[in-house]
Homo-oligomer: A and B are copies of this chain.
Amino acid sequence: MAVELTRKIRFCSAHRLYNPNLSEEENRRVFGACANPHGHGHTYALEISIHGEPDPKTGMIVNIDELDAVIRKEIVDCVDHRHLNYDVPFLEGVNPTMENMVVLFWKILADKIPAGTLSRIRLWESDNNSVTYTGA
């Protein structure tokens, strides 16, 4: 009887899509305006989903306030109001595409949340673009 709970938190970051192993020309061809040198930015929305059987004592599968605190400490406080290419230790050397970010977020959170309960991460960079990762 597994229920999935989803918590959404927003953060505001700058980033630039760029692969230093590619030529300037190829970076431009692959990433378009996303490769502009000084970067651009997004109001990201991050959805973290936990699944499990509701605890009969609390009727909850997780305490949302505690989940929120973990997400903020491990991820949001590290990326919010930062430039993802320069300011975030766990993104060092990573091209900050939505796909790379969501896989990294999973690795970070999976260690901080009871084993097997993290079920889904969705990251929105705008109302029209998002990625979802379920860990495999």
- Identify the A interface with B (CB < 8 A): 1-10, 12-15, 17, 19, 21-22, 30-34, 36, 38-43, 49, 54, 57-61, 63-65, 80-83, 85-87, 94-100, 102-103, 125-133, 136
Contacts and interface: CB of A to CB of B under 8 A. Distances in A.
A108 B134 CA distance: 27
A43 to B, nearest CB: 4
A12 B38 contact: no
Contacts of A7: 128-129
* Residue of A59, A63, A130 most packed against chain B (CB within 10 A): A59
Given A97-B54, A132-B6, A41 B59 contact: no
Given A36-B87, A40-B83, A12 B64 contact: no
